[in-house]
Amino acid sequence: MAWDFSTDAEYAAKLDWARQVVQDEIYPLEVLGLDHRAFRELAKPLQEKVKANGLWAAHLDPQLGGQGYGQVKLGLLHEILGASDLAPYVFGCQAPDSGNAELIALAATPAQRTTWLEPLLAGELYSAYSMTEQGTGSDPKQFTTRAVREGDSYVLNGQKWFVGNASRSDFHIVMAVTNPDVHPYEGMSMLIVPTNTPGITMRPLANMHDVALDDPLYIHDEVTYTDVRIPVENLLGNEGGAFVLAQKRLGPGRIHHSMRWIGQCRRAFDMLCERAVTISVHGGRLAEKQMVQQWVAESAAAIEAARLLTLQAAWKIDQTGSSSARVEIAMIKYHGAYVLHDVLDRAIQIYGSLGYSADMPLEAMYRWSRAARLYDGPDEVHKVSVAKQMLRGYSPALPPTEHIPTRQAAAREKYASELKRIGL
């Protein structure tokens, strides 16, 4: 099958435009010390420009107000947007709203589309994805948050953790056990829970990303649901269908994450190279030191390899759907996160104490990058999944299949008459 990542001229021009917006309009917003309200205000005119240029909410199909570009084209856009944390918001594809919109679009009733999806896409509502329970995030089968049906309501009890933007959102999509008597794959459901429903309390979590809890874009909360009463019409999809929906949400989302990491890598790589050609120590430019050249060469190759692996996963999703690309999607999750970490680490190293200081963006990029190995499932879970798929094609063999004495005996038998003919 042909494998083609070429980009048509019209879309390439849109990507060039997006790159310019990110560098000229969004990079300056990063350093103004904006809180999230001020950031949202300053982003508004830029969002209008993005809409006029046909790049708003590009992850969605045309009937939902998106562009229906497919994962490869989207990946190329996310690579550009990833350079700045703030850019996805300006382009209407920020986490967790973009994934939530995809999820609602997949499963919503017509009434849910009107009430939740349309205002979410218009940027009038904000959402949170409330799934993880502390200590069991990597094994959702152990979740205990319960939604019990009582008449026309579900009554929700439980505690979720690290819910992105929970306290800044208008609604949470909550994953809860609705039937504890069947396998969790069939016993969990998703509910749309308005954030102002009585019984919800939230505790902001200071962490490596939002140390001061005032990040303009992302904060994270612990959320406790106590006897939270939700109308049954807020069930998203089928009762018991949460796992299937969650997988559909996470597959393409990992492509977007991984391509955004490439964007972060490129920005860090540019800083690394600029420093290498600028500073001289011990009688020569850093760029002339072999150790620095090794960082440059290894970073360039690693970024390119991660990019191609991600685009291949995106291409496979476009061709045959998310489930056929499961191995590639899992690979880019941990491989991309390592590349991001290593490139940032080298960039900080070459700047020395300046790189460690908040006078350069690298220290914040580095702190944030650490989360890449955790969110959407820790690396280990993805590695286990890839290893299982890889090992499935192998059977035990003693002696080993490649054992040379055994192969020699078999080869002598196979070629016995020819060997005899030539006197061996």
Ligand X SMILES: Cc1cc2nc3c(=O)[nH]c(=O)nc-3n(C[C@H](O)[C@H](O)[C@H](O)COP(=O)(O)OP(=O)(O)OC[C@H]3O[C@@H](n4cnc5c(N)ncnc54)[C@H](O)[C@@H]3O)c2cc1C
Under the binding rule (CB under 6 A), the answer on residue 380 touching ligand X is yes
Instruction: Give the helix/strand (H/E) hosting 273.
Output: helix 242-278
Instruction: Select the span of 37-45, 280-288, 355-363, 379-387 touching ligand X (CB under 6 A).
Output: 379-387
384 binds ligand X (CB under 6 A): yes
Nearer to ligand X, 42 or 104 (CB): 104
d(CA 372, CA 382): 12
119 sits near ligand X (criterion: CB under 6 A): no
Residue among 137 and 252 whose Cβ is closer to ligand X:
137
Output the smallest distance, CB 370 to ligand X, in A: 8
Among residues 69, 113, 381, the alpha carbon closest in space to that of 255 is found at: 69
Min dist. Cβ of residue 308 to ligand X (A): 26
Q: Which of 96, 123, 336, 355 binds ligand X (CB under 6 A)?
A: 96
Cα angle at 161 between 160 and 163, to 5 degrees? 95
Task: Find the binding residues for ligand X in span 319-378 (CB under 6 A).
Answer: 371, 374-378
Q: Which of 26, 101, 107, 163 binds ligand X (CB under 6 A)?
A: 163
Q: Which stretch binds ligand X (CB under 6 A): 73-81, 129-137, 238-246, 262-270?
A: 129-137
Angle 239-230-146 from CA coordinates, rounded to 5°: 60
Say how many Å lie between the first and final Cα of the chain, rounded: 46
- The least CB distance from residue 73 to ligand X, in Å, is 26
Taking contact as CB under 6 A, which single stretch among the options 48-56, 113-121, 127-135, 389-397 is the one that binds ligand X?
A: 127-135
Nearer to ligand X, 69 or 243 (CB): 243
Going from the C-alpha of 353 to that of each of 64, 346, 350, the distances in angstroms are 48, 13, 9
| Minimum CB–partner distance for residue 201 and ligand X (Å) | 17
Q: Tokens 């999809």, residue?
A: 237
| 3-state SS, one letter per residue, for 349-415 | HHHHHHHHCCCCCHHHHHHHHHHHHCCCCCHHHHHHHHHHHHHCCCCCCCCCCCCHHHHHHHHHHHC
Rounded to whole angstroms, the Cα distance separating 16 from 2 reads 26
DSSP single-letter state for residue 285? E
> Least separation, in Å, of the C-beta of 197 and ligand X?
18
| Complex with ligand X: residue 39 or 162, whichever CB lies closer | 162
161's enclosing H/E stretch is strand 153-164
| Residue 129: strand pairing partners | 173
> What is the rounded CA–CA span in Å between residue 86 and residue 164?
15
Among 135, 151, 396, 400, binds ligand X (CB under 6 A): 135
287 is a site residue for ligand X (CB under 6 A): no
Answer yes or no whether residue 136 interacts with ligand X by CB under 6 A. yes
Minimum CB separation of residue 101 from ligand X in Å reads: 14
Query: Judged by CB under 6 A, which of 209, 267, 316, 382 binds ligand X?
Result: 209
- Minimum distance, C-beta of residue 420 to ligand X, in the bound complex (Å): 56
The correct pick among 23, 138, 167, 197 for binding ligand X (CB under 6 A) is 138
Residue nearest to ligand X (CB): 137
Residue 166 and residue 193 in contact, taking contact as beta carbons nearer than 8 Å? no
- Main-chain phi, psi angles of 161, to 5 degrees: -145, 140
Q: Give the binding site for ligand X (CB under 6 A).
A: 96, 129-132, 134-138, 162-164, 209, 220, 371, 374-378, 380-381, 384
